[in-house]
Amino acid sequence: MLGQLVRYAITGGFVTVLGAGLYAVLVETTPMHEQIAVFAAYVLCVAIGYVLHSRWSFRGHGARGNAAATTSRFVVVSLVSYGLNAFFTWAMVRGMDLPRWSPVLPILFVTPLATFALNRHWVFR
């Protein structure tokens, strides 16, 4: 499990920083609504994340017999991740009137922990 955690941290860190960076660039350089920016970052990162996590982060973990089930579970976890990030964005920007970049903090530090646990114990079991 330690090896998976390290691989997940590297891969997930890359994907998370990519998504948070895209979100920050979009909200700071365009008039784009922050929820659209979160969704744009999600679409890019879910595709990259699936390939990297399935081929490297969780390589050799569990049975590989049912790719359709694994993909379906990954999509569900990705939607949970998107939901968390959309919630953080709404709560911090609209609810607390914080700067539009502020959701980057929980996007970088909270969402990855939740998705690791779900990926490890449910998706790539």
Q: What is the DSSP string of 56-124?
A: IITTT-S--S-HHHHHHHHHHHHHHHHHHHHHHHIIIIIIS---TTTTHHHHHHTHHHHHHHHIIIII-
- Which one is predicted more confidently, 53 or 73? 73
Examine the pLDDT at 33 and tell me if it is beyond 80: yes
* pLDDT tier, 87 (very low <50, low <70, confident <90, very high otherwise): very high
Residue 103 CB partners (closer than 8 Å, separation 6+): 23, 34, 38, 85, 88, 89, 92, 93
- Which one is predicted more confidently, 32 or 51? 32
Question: How far lies 107's CA from each of 8, 65, 116, in Å?
Answer: 16, 32, 13
Write down the mean pLDDT value for the chain: 87
Rg, Å, the chain Cα set: 15
Examine the pLDDT at 63 and tell me if it is beyond 80: no
What spatial distance separates the first Cα and last Cα of the chain, rounded to whole Å? 12
Q: pTM value?
A: 0.79
Examine the pLDDT at 67 and tell me if it is beyond 80: no
Examine the pLDDT at 1 and tell me if it is beyond 70: no
